[in-house]
A and B are shown apart, each in its own frame.
Chain A
Amino acid sequence: AQSVTQLGSHVSVSEGALVLLRCNYSSSVPPYLFWYVQYPNQGLQLLLKYTTGATLVKGINGFEAEFKKSETSFHLTKPSAHMSDAAEYFCAVSDGTGGFKTIFGAGTRLFVKA
């Protein structure tokens, strides 16, 4: 069975500081990993995804994530936070089976202080 754990339901950073959102997963088969972002009163949109190949994945808005199989982690980072990054972020995993269901983490709300 697959699962996703996001460490920290809330993260607060200052504008210009490093953003680090942590995600650990479990999967019995090689996983497909995703980060989605949700702005207030909107649906989720894809930030980036890992399927195969390069373990460092770059996404939109300057975010990137590194797949580390040995640590079963897929942490999301951004070198310099911007006020517009304030949102909720969801890590998700899919093993491609059963209708390609995706399991989502509980989410991390990012606050950016001026």
Chain B
Amino acid sequence: NAGVTQTPKFRVLKTGQSMTLLCAQDMNHEYMYWYRQDPGMGLRLIHYSVGEGTTAKGEVPDGYNVSRLKKQNFLLGLESAAPSQTSVYFCASKPRETFYNEQFFGPGTRLTVL
């Protein structure tokens, strides 16, 4: 099993450009999450999904959109990138069956917005 994979690993954007980050998991997990990690702030939840076709806002959703068209994929979109969105983005997934299970994380995408 590959676990949770993220594409791309690195990206540099100019202000105003758009891009989509792809998260894929092969563990048949119901729940998926997008976080951003900034120095001294830990991980903050952007959006999450409890199943195919459903998404919900997290702690810091502004400037981001998501879609979960397939159970194994969770896409994070930036329509008009801003320098404040420079961060490391992590995707995670979790099975539904045991609610106290931990989340499984991808390796991250480092995004720089100039």
Contact = CB atoms under 8 A, between A and B. Distances in A.
Contacts of B45: 101-102
B74 interface: no
A104 B42 contact: yes
Given A90-B43, A99-B56, A45 B100 contact: no
Q: Report whether over half of chain B's contact residues are helix, strand or loop; otherwise say mixed.
A: strand
A100 B102 contact: no
Contact of B42 (A32, A34, A96, A105): A105
Q: How many B residues touch the partner, as a band?
A: 20 to 34
A29 interface: no
Q: Report whether over half of chain A's contact residues are helix, strand or loop; otherwise say mixed.
A: loop
A83 interface: no
B100 A102 contact: no
Contact of A44 (B41, B90, B99): B90
A96 B106 contact: no
Given A90-B43, A100-B31, A106-B41, A42 B102 contact: no
B42 A90 contact: yes
A49 B100 contact: yes
Interface in A1-54: 4, 9, 32, 34, 36, 41-46, 49, 51
A94 interface: yes
Interface of B: 4, 31, 33, 35, 40-45, 48-50, 56, 58, 90, 92, 94, 99-100, 102-103, 105-108
23 contacts: A4-B42, A9-B40, A32-B100, A36-B105, A43-B105, A43-B106, A43-B108, A44-B103, A45-B105, A49-B102, A94-B100, A96-B99, A96-B100, A99-B31, A99-B48, A99-B49, A100-B99, A101-B58, A102-B103, A104-B44, A105-B42, A106-B41, A106-B42
